[in-house]
């Protein structure tokens, strides 16, 4: 189930195993049969760590979703609540426990807080008078979850909103803790680079925690050479653009959650896990969608040729060899069939006029065409009441590419939106303004063109089939975040000081002292390994771009990616929306 | 060397030996007569208690003589962490530390107060140290772990009056049970039942069982009958090992198992007034005469015998020692030892011996035996001799791994130093390995032998935070309790000594200082704590809440910040609380988050205090959506407008006013026309009005809200198409020039599957959009014509892609020709 985690440059399975071990230890602490009551939000992330079989081995017999009222009947000795430390969840748990007591059934209660226990929550349980009912109150430190061979995610949906909108830095604390765990397993990371306020904060906490743990350092040869911390608000543009890689488009169209995707129509393939464990998927996921068709047909030829070999197999030995490869070939064939269907579904969308028009406008904005005027396409979309998020993505994009919109233009858009979609969205617009996604132009100077030119964010002739630059992931636009990463590796940030100053937040470099004897002696031609941490989310297209850089022959750096959450423009904007009706109900 | 076997006594195939550990220096007039003695395993401390109500504390000057003031003591015992338990007649259990200082007490239940404790036992299990008692009412009460006290009263034993003849506590299958004998009957008592049991093969059924012993591991059981027979078997009473007739009929004073790991001849040691008898599986016994009152202590690998003047260890001679020292032994180890002895004498015989070993190629085995045997010997001289022999043998081996030898040397050095009579821990190598260095260090620390503990840590290169740092922390905790020294000098002394050590928890030390009432010292010590998170709880306890808040923020741990904030909220008056938060933005924003979900009213107060009108406006807007009644909603929105105005947010104020206007308009229409418009957006309202033929009202809204023409046209267009009002649409199209062009008309009609109507508008479409319009109604020819006319290569290609090669051949050719001419230009 997890072999794909160990193929990469850094064996991330170590992390997964460590997490599984901890889970098993907790389950064994509650002796006897158990039922788990899940905070529904956690089931997805947990799926990446342990399947039901592991729980079953440790006498978990039933699973329920956490909800108010009385717990469902189950003949088990232990009831374990797996929850995030949220006060509202504590109230539900208290309700469960209180109604349970009335039935006089002797079941033991336990709580497992993920990712951290909280005094505030325990206090709440105490106020509700149920704290004493729990035999075990424990925490399960699940910060960074191995998502794929080169990818770690904290799967924390609200991280961007909390950090940039609500000034709640809890997720940054978890990030720092997670990085400390990572360093305990993979050695101290000697160099830390960063850009942005949150990055600075995380780095400060890491350095402080290192001092706190002085003496208990593990003597492990460092696996990572450097860490790059990037604030999402340094590059607000990239997630707004429509991703054009295969995986990116799957995410845009169907949405990938916790590594799984539900396709429509559902009867065909209900829920598919998408990761590098599937050979074909690993091959095509990061290609520009225009290159996927060719790759699939090439693959089809290879597979059918492989099946043809059965005719040429004459001797018993040859036949035996053929048969031994059969399961693998059959898996490859069904994988090919699946992805051909998916690619066709997506193609229907990408070839549609609506998609094309939308993309044209996006590209106009990114190249700086008429970003200071009312855009008729946006106007038409509003008039036809297209989905609000689509409108917001475009308006925000125009604002970002113009370093803010003129007050009059901004007010016009806002008014159009409020009149069409309802005045309640004023709060959402307000949130977008607070996070800087939407803003009135303050200075007369628009520095986006300078940034675009210096960092070569727009490449006119992006080669989609055989890319030679990261810009292929957006068919022309090279993600700003990845350009920063690329420049850092070579020739270094000193060459772009001017641009860095235009982007929000400080940029910095820190060094962590390694214990004597652990300095790595680099072989000639050996690549560096850099961990890039996106605070506030990363898109699949950006990951594809980093993988592309890792694979470049003369790149010299391999990247491991970590993030608070995998996002796309839609899920990102959604996380910033305020819907008062929803809250009232 | 010949002396080594002098104290060996054969028992079956094996030998037993008694080694003197210490000469006891306690000054008791009558020896151990009339004393209660308790000794802890793993070479632990010994405590005795005189019946004349004097508490005498001993073991190498540790205890001082004190007057015993409390009630009569029934039993003494040691806990796993070297605390002393005194179980009194009234069921009170007093706990003292190693130095005789009272720590705490607990009771074994109310029932005991009346019935008194008849007998008590202290036992150890995986759960910790437990206490079992039997009361005057012949009932048993158990506490499996005194640190987590849960009293369990066991069921009644049929026919039992007074105390049973003998009893023992067993731990089996993670359950603690009591095994007891009432004359000839044997019972097992667990939580729920009392089961009579019979040991298999106990030949003399009619005899009563007068004593019993359970082995150190709870695996074996020995029973002694009044006919002088000793039965040995497994503790689950399934197997019998042997039965021995001791020929002594007097009930023994004490009986304990004497085993060792890989025992050849496990045995039971039985003690009478003047006799000590060792009985194994074979029929032989060993008898020692006792010249003084003594007490036996079961150990993992033997029995310690504590008397008034001596302290001895009785154990089976380990096979490695037997092989080497047995008279005329030809084992490899024995030969190697001999070879080395000759070598020291510079005799050529050394070579002969060595050759003999090498011929059998057992030199490796010989070295191994010598190393192992060294571990079992108590005399440093003997250890040295054996290790020298091993080292000598090693010289002739090319690839013998050095680790066993090196680690044995280290272990012995440590063991010898703790066996020293000033320390007084007579630990054997086997016990030491079982117990681990960590525990040994803990025990040394507990005895306040800090320098030795540190030296051992350094010598064994224990990682600092587990070793030296831990010891230093304990030292510091002890140091802060020295009342006579001033704060300054203690803080200084602690920081000087601990400064360099890694992983020291200053907060623990500070907590200790605070417990002793030295708040100032605690604060000074906390300054040294690098983990700000650790400082917070103690600072709160000491009521230094402001400092706690800034430390919590420093740590980055938001839960900790919340904790402090909640604390402050309860401690301070509201004004001060808000002021404090105002100076700590991180705490303030966290508290806002908290209020958002939990205390809406406080949130408003917070914004008010900060004059944050923008947020107040948002607050009212949010509140308005939760309000069901329109009037209340409008008044909240009005408040929002006021706040937005104060915040100089013109747009928000105006938009909110518009919202109110819309709501009022909707209400009026709902009342007048019976529509259900309330809550719809402006766009939706217009759409609803247009589809319901309220054109006049729609027009009014359109003007009042200054809806842009473009959008209004789109809106009206779709609304008309949706209700198939083609006539009205045509009128609308002709009313004035369309601000959105005529392509939308075509598209909307097509969307409603009305190509006929769509065609009407194709001619009105601008030239740029002609191709699109023709294509929309499926008119390829028209599209082709338009494209060719415009000579646009791209448009021609678009049309081409829609043509099918079979049906539209002529058209294809035309287009292809046109494209090539267009391309030329």
What token pair was written down for B50? 């005189």
Burial class (CB within 10 angstroms; exposed 0-12, middle 13-18, buried 19+) of A232:
buried
What is the pLDDT confidence band of residue A375, given thresholds at 50, 70 and 90?
very high
A422 touches chain B (CB under 8 A): yes
pLDDT tens for B217-234 read: 888 888 888 888 888 888
- Compute the nearest-CA separation of B515 from chain A (Å): 23
Record: contact A211-B530, CB cut-off 8 A? yes
Using a CB–CB cutoff of 8 Å, tell me whether A120 touches chain B. Answer: yes
What sign does the dihedral A225-A230-A235-A238 (CA atoms) show? positive
A204 falls in which pLDDT band (50, 70, 90)?
very high
Contacts 24+ apart (CB under 8 A), A25-31: A26/A112, A26/A136, A26/A138, A26/A140, A27/A55, A27/A58, A27/A59, A27/A60, A27/A80, A28/A58, A29/A110, A29/A136, A29/A138, A30/A77, A30/A78, A30/A80, A30/A108, A30/A110, A30/A135, A30/A136, A31/A77, A31/A78
More confident call, B421 vs A304: A304
Tokens of A349: 């969308």
Residue A585 binned pLDDT confidence (cut-offs 50, 70, 90): very low
Task: Give me A472's structure tokens.
Answer: 């292929």
Angle at B281 between CA B279 and CA B285, to 5 degrees: 30
Among B559, B593, B714, beta carbon nearest to A119: B559
- Rounded to an integer, the average pLDDT of A115-129 is 88
The yes-or-no verdict on residue B33 having pLDDT over 60 is: no
Report the alpha-carbon angle B130-B136-B139, nearest 5.
Answer: 55
Please give the pLDDT value at position B116: 84
Under the banding of pLDDT at 50, 70 and 90, the label for residue B52 is very low
CB distance A548 to A286 below 8 Å: yes
- What mean pLDDT value characterizes chain A? 89
Q: Which residues of A touch B556 (CB under 8 A)?
A: 169, 172-173, 176, 201, 204-205, 208
What is the average pLDDT across B468-482?
A: 83
CA closest to B559 among chain A residues = A118
Average pLDDT over residues A542-559: 90
- What DSSP state is assigned to residue B161? -
Mean pLDDT of B618-646: 92
Averaged over B56-76, what is the pLDDT?
Answer: 48
Output the pLDDT for position A105: 62
Please give the pLDDT value at position A465. Answer: 87
Q: Does A215 touch chain B (CB under 8 A)?
A: yes
B283 vs B459 pLDDT, higher one: B459
pLDDT at B179 over 60: yes
Mean pLDDT, rounded, for A549-556: 85
Q: Which candidate, A351, A337, A327, A348, places its Cα nearest to that of A268?
A: A337
The strands making up A256-257's β-sheet, listed across from edge to edge, are A256-257, A260-262, A271-273
d(CA B165, CA B735): 116
User: By the 8 A CB rule, do A560 and A9 touch?
Assistant: yes
Residue A154's closest CA among A225, A87, A202? A202
d(CA A155, CA A563) in angstroms, rounded, equals: 8
For residue B609, what are its two tokens?
């205090």
User: Is pLDDT at A417 greater than 50 in this prediction?
Assistant: yes
Cis, bond preceding B814 (omega within 30 deg of 0): no
Other C-beta atoms within 10 Å of B173: how many? 7
Looking at residue A248, its pLDDT comes to 95
Please tell me which of A269-283, A407-421, A544-558, B675-689 the model is most confident about, judged by mean pLDDT.
Answer: A407-421
Helix axes B403-419, B450-460, angle to 10 degrees: 180
Q: Residue B237: is its pLDDT beyond 90?
A: no
Please state, for a pLDDT cut of 90, what percent of chain B lies above it. Answer: 11
Taking CA–CA distances from B683, the nearest residue in chain A reads A420
The answer to whether B10 contacts chain A (CB < 8 Å) is no
pLDDT at B35: 57
Proportion of chain A above pLDDT 90, given as a percent: 53
Preceding amide of B289 cis, omega within 30: no
Give Cα separations from B584 to B44, B543, B550 (angstroms).
Answer: 54, 18, 8
What is the three-class DSSP state of B256? strand
Using pLDDT thresholds of 50, 70 and 90, give the confidence band for residue B729: confident
Quote ipTM for the complex: 0.88
Q: What residues of chain A lie within 8 A of the CB of B533, using their CB?
A: 212
Q: Which of residues 619-648 of B touch A (CB under 8 A)?
A: 621-622, 625-626
Q: CA of A379: which chain B residue's CA is closest?
A: B711
Across chain B, mean pLDDT equals 83
**Residues near B483 by beta carbon (within 8 Å), at least 6 away in sequence:** B516
Q: What angle do CA B785, B786, B790 make, to 5 degrees?
A: 115
Q: Please, is A64 exposed, middle or buried when counting C-beta atoms within 10 Å of its C-beta (0-12, 13-18, 19+)?
A: middle
For testing contact with chain A, the best of B498, B622, B683 (most A CBs within 10 A): B683
From CA B508, how far away is CA B476, in angstroms rounded?
10
Residue scoring higher pLDDT (A343 or B478): A343
B601 to chain A, closest Cα gap in Å: 16
Give the sign of the dihedral formed by CA B406, CA B408, CA B409, CA B415: positive
CA angle B781, B787, B789 (to 5 degrees): 100
Per-residue pLDDT reduced to its tens digit, B339-392:
999 998 988 888 888 888 888 888 888 899 999 999 998 888 999 999 999 999
Contact B50, B34 (CB under 8 A): yes
B777: exposed, middle or buried (Cβ count in 10 Å: 0-12, 13-18, 19+): buried
Q: Which residues of A touch B589 (CB under 8 A)?
A: 166-168
Contact A416 B597 (CB under 8 A): no
Contacts with B750 from chain A: Cβ below 8 Å: none
Strands of B14-23's sheet in order across: B8-11, B14-23, B310-316, B302-307, B294-299
Supply angle C-alpha B762, B766, B771, rounded to 5: 60
pLDDT at residue B546, as a whole number? 85
Nearest to A580 among B469, B622, B662 (CB): B622
| B773-824 pLDDT per residue, tens | 888 888 888 888 888 888 777 788 888 777 777 777 788 888 888 888 877 7
Task: Tell the burial category of A233 from Cβ atoms under 10 Å away from its Cβ (0-12, 13-18, 19+).
Answer: buried
User: CB contact, 8 Å: B714 with chain A?
Assistant: yes
Which residue of B559, B596, B662, B738 is the best one to mutate when testing the A interface, meaning the one whose CB has the most A CBs within 10 A? B559
**H/E/C letters for each residue in A527-575?**
CEEEEEEEECCECHHHHHHHHHHHHCCCCCEEEEEEECCECCHHHHHHH
pLDDT tops 70 at residue B47: no
Residue B43's pLDDT is 55
Q: What is the C-alpha radius of gyration for chain A, rounded to an integer number of angstroms? A: 26
**Distance separating alpha carbons of residues B593 and A242, to the nearest angstrom:** 32
> Which chain B residues are within 8 Å of A204, Cβ to Cβ?
556
- CA separation, residue B97 to residues A407, B77, B79 (Å): 77, 12, 10
Distance between CA atoms of B424 and B418, rounded to whole angstroms? 6
Residues of A with Cβ-Cβ distance to B592 under 8 angstroms: 166
B802 near A CB under 8 A: no
A419 touches chain B (CB under 8 A): yes
Does A308 have pLDDT greater than 70?
A: yes
pLDDT band at residue A583, thresholds of 50, 70 and 90? very low
Contact of A446 with chain B, judged by CB distance below 8 Å, is answered with no
Across residues B32-56, what is the average pLDDT? 50
pLDDT band at A576 (very low <50, low <70, confident <90, very high): very high
Both structure tokens of B807: 């049906």
State residue B59's pLDDT score: 36
CA distance A289 to A253: 13
Helix (H, G, I), strand (E, B), or coil: what is residue A151?
strand
Q: Which of B563, B592, B708 sits opposite A119 (nearest CB)?
A: B563
- What is the pLDDT averaged over residues B453-470? 83
**Order of strands, sheet of B175-182, starting from the edge strand that comes earlier in the sequence:** B166-172, B175-182, B185-189, B194-197
pLDDT at B41: 63
Split at pLDDT 50, 70, 90, the class of A284 is very high
Assigned token pair, A232: 């999402």
List pLDDT tens digits, range B551-607. Answer: 888 888 888 899 899 889 888 888 889 888 888 888 998 898 888 888 888 889 889
Return the pLDDT at B54: 28
DSSP bridge partners of B755: none
pLDDT value at residue A296:
93
Tallying the residues shown for chain B, one arrives at 825
Do the strands B66-67 and B73-78 form a parallel or antiparallel pair, or are they unpaired?
unpaired
**Confidence category of residue B92, pLDDT binned at 50, 70, 90:** confident
Answer with the residue of higher pLDDT: A82 or A133: A82
Q: In terms of Cα–Cα distance, which of B434, B414, B432 is closest to B423?
A: B414
Over residues B652-672, mean pLDDT: 92
* Mean pLDDT on B459-481: 82
Q: How much is the pLDDT for A179? A: 95
pLDDT of residue B20: 82
Confidence of residue B65 (pLDDT cuts 50, 70, 90): very low
Q: Of the candidates B112, B93, B113, B111, which has an alpha carbon nearest to the alpha carbon of residue B103?
A: B93
The SS3 assignment for B169 reads strand
Distance between CA atoms of B75 and A337, rounded to whole angstroms?
Answer: 79
Q: What is the mean pLDDT of residues A166-177?
A: 92
Percent of chain B with pLDDT over 70: 93
Surface-to-core class of residue B186, CB atoms within 10 Å of its CB (0-12 exposed, 13-18 middle, 19+ buried): buried
**Contact, B213 vs B221, CB < 8 A?**
yes
A:359-418 residues touching chain B, CB 8 A cutoff:
379-380, 382-385, 411, 414-416, 418
């Amino acid at each position: 189930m997890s072999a794909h985690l160990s193929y990469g440059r850094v064996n991330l399975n170590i992390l997964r195993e460590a997490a599984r071990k901890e889970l098993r230890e907790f389950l064994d602490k509650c002796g006897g049969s158990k039922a788990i009551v899940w905070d529904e939000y956690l089931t997805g992330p947990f799926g990446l760590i342990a399947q039901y079989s592991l729980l079953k081995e440790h006498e978990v017999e039933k699973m329920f979703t956490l909800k108010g009222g009385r717990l469902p009947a189950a003949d088990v000795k232990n009831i374990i609540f797996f929850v995030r430390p949220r006060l509202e969840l504590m109230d539900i748990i208290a309700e469960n426990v209180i109604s349970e007591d009335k039935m006089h059934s002797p079941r033991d209660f336990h709580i497992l807080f993920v990712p951290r226990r909280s005094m505030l929550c325990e206090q709440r349980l105490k106020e509700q008078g149920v704290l004493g009912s729990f035999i075990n109150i424990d925490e399960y430190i699940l910060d960074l979850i191995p998502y794929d061979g080169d990818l770690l995610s904290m799967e924390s949906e609200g991280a961007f909103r909390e950090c940039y909108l609500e000034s709640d830095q809890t997720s940054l604390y978890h990030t720092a803790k997670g990085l400390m765990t990572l360093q305990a397993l993979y050695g101290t990371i000697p160099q830390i680079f960063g850009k942005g306020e949150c990055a600075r904060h995380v780095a400060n906490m890491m350095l402080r925690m290192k001092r706190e743990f002085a003496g208990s350092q593990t003597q492990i040869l460092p696996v990572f050479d450097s860490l790059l911390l990037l604030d999402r608000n340094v590059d607000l543009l990239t997630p707004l653009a429509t991703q054009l890689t295969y995986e990116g488009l799957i995410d845009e169209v169907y949405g990938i959650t916790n590594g799984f995707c539900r396709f429509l129509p559902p009867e065909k393939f209900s829920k598919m896990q998408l990761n590098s464990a599937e050979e074909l998927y690993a091959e095509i996921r990061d290609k520009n969608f225009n290159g996927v068709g060719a790759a699939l047909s090439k693959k089809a030829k290879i597979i059918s040729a492989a099946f043809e070999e059965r005719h040429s197999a004459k001797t018993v030995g040859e036949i035996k060899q053929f048969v031994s490869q059969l399961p693998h070939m059959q898996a490859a064939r069904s994988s090919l069939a699946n992805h051909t269907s998916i690619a066709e579904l997506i193609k229907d969308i990408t070839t549609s006029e609506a998609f094309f028009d939308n993309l044209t406008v996006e590209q106009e904005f990114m190249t700086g065409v008429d970003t200071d005027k009312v855009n008729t396409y946006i106007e038409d979309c509003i008039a036809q009441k297209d989905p609000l998020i689509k409108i917001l993505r475009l308006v925000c994009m125009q604002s970002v590419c113009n370093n803010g919109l003129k007050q009059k233009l901004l007010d016009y858009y806002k008014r159009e939106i409020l009149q069409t979609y309802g005045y309640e969205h004023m709060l959402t617009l307000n949130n977008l303004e607070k996070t800087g996604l939407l803003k009135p132009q303050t200075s007369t100077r628009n520095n986006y063109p300078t940034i675009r030119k210096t960092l070569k964010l727009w490449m006119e002739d992006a080669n989609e089939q055989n890319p030679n630059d990261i810009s292929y992931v957006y068919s022309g636009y090279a993600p700003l975040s990845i350009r920063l990463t690329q420049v850092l590796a070579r020739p270094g940030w000193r060459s772009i000081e001017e641009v860095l100053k235009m982007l929000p937040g400080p940029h910095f470099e820190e060094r962590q002292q390694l214990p004597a004897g652990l300095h790595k002696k680099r072989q000639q031609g050996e690549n560096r390994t850099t961990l890039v941490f996106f605070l506030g989310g990363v898109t699949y297209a950006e990951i594809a771009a980093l993988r592309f850089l890792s694979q470049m022959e003369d790149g010299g750096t391999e990247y491991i990616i970590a993030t608070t959450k995998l996002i796309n423009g839609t899920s990102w904007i959604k996380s910033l929306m305020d819907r008062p009706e929803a809250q009232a109900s | 060397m010949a002396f080594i076997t002098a104290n060996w006594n054969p028992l079956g195939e094996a030998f037993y030996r008694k080694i003197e550990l210490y000469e006891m220096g306690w000054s008791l007039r009558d020896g151990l007569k009339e004393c209660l003695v308790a000794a802890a395993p793993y070479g632990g401390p010994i405590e005795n208690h005189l019946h004349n109500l004097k508490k005498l504390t001993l073991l190498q000057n540790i205890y001082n003589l004190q007057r015993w003031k409390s009630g009569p003591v029934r039993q003494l015992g040691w806990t796993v962490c070297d605390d002393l338990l005194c179980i009194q007649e009234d069921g009170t259990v007093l706990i003292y530390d190693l130095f005789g200082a009272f720590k705490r007490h607990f009771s074994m239940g109310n029932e005991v107060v009346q019935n008194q404790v008849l007998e008590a036992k202290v036992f150890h299990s995986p759960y910790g140290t437990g206490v079992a008692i039997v009361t005057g009412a012949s009932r048993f009460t158990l506490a499996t772990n005194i640190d987590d006290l849960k009293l369990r009263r066991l069921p009644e034993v049929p026919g039992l009056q007074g105390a049973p003849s003998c009893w023992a506590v067993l731990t089996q299958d993670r359950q603690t049970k009591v095994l007891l004998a009432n004359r000839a009957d044997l019972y097992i008592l667990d939580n729920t039942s009392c089961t009579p049991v019979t040991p298999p093969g106990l030949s003399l059924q009619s005899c009563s069982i007068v004593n019993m012993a359970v082995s150190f591991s709870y695996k074996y059981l020995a029973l002694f009958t009044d006919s002088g027979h000793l039965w040995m078997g497994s503790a689950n009473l399934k197997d019998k090992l042997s039965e021995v007739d001791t020929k002594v009929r007097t009930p023994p004073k004490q009986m304990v198992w004497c085993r060792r790991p890989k025992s050849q001849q496990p045995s039971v040691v039985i003690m009478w007034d003047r006799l000590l008898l060792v009985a194994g599986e074979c029929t032989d016994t060993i008898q020692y005469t006792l010249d003084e009152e003594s007490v036996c202590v079961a150990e993992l690998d033997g029995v310690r015998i504590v008397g008034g003047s001596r302290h001895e260890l009785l154990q089976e001679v380990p096979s490695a020692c037997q092989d080497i020292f047995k008279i005329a032994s030809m084992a490899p180890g024995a030969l190697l030892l001999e070879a080395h002895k000759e070598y020291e004498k510079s005799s050529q015989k050394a070579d002969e011996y060595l050759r003999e070993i090498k011929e059998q190629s057992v030199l490796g085995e010989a070295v191994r035996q010598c190393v192992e045997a060294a571990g079992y010997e108590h005399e440093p001289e003997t250890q040295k001799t054996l290790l020298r022999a091993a080292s000598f043998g090693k010289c002739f081996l090319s690839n013998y791994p050095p680790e066993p030898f090196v680690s044995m040397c280290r272990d012995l050095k440590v063991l010898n130093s703790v066996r020293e009579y000033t320390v007084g821990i007579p630990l054997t190598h086997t016990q030491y390995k079982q117990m681990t260095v960590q525990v040994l260090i803990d025990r040394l620390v507990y005895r306040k032998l800090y320098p030795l503990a540190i030296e051992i840590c350094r010598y064994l290169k224990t990682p600092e935070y587990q070793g030296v740092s831990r010891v230093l922390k304990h030292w510091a905790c002890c140091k802060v309790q020295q009342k006579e020294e001033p704060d300054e000098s203690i803080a200084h002394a602690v920081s000087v000594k601990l400064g360099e050590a890694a992983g020291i928890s200053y907060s623990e030390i500070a907590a200790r200082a605070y417990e002793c009432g030295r708040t100032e010292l605690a604060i000074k010590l906390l300054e040294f704590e690098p983990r700000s998170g650790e400082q917070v709880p103690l600072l709160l306890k000491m009521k230094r809440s402001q400092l706690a808040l800034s430390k919590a923020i420093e740590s980055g741990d938001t839960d900790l910040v919340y904790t402090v904030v909640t604390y402050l909220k309860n401690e301070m008056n509201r004004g001060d609380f808000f002021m404090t938060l105002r100076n700590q933005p991180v705490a303030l924003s966290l508290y806002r988050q908290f209020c958002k979900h939990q205390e809406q009213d406080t949130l408003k107060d917070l914004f008010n205090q900060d004059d944050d009108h923008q947020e107040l406006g948002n607050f009212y807007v949010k509140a308005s959506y939760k309000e069901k009644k329109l009037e209340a909603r409008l008044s909240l929105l009005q408040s929002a407008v006021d706040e937005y105005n104060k915040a100089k947010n013109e747009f928000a104020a105006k938009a909110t006013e518009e919202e109110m206007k819309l709501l009022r308009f909707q209400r009026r229409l709902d009342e007048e026309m019976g529509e259900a418009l309330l809550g719809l957006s402006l766009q939706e309202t217009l759409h609803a009005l247009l589809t319901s033929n309220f054109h006049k009202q729609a027009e009014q809204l359109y003007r009042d809200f200054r809806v842009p023409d473009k959008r209004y046209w789109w809106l009206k267009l779709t609304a008309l198409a949706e209700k198939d009002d083609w006539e009205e649409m045509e009128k609308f199209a002709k009313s004035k020039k369309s601000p959105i062009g005529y392509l939308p008309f075509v598209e909307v009609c097509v969307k409603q599957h009305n190509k006929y109507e769509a065609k009407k508008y194709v001619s009105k479409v601008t030239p740029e959009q002609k191709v699109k319009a023709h294509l929309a109604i499926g008119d390829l020819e028209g599209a082709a014509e338009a494209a060719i006319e415009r000579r646009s290569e791209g448009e021609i290609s678009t049309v081409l892609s829609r043509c099918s090669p079979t049906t539209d051949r002529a058209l294809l050719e035309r287009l292809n020709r046109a494209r090539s001419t267009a391309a030329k230009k």
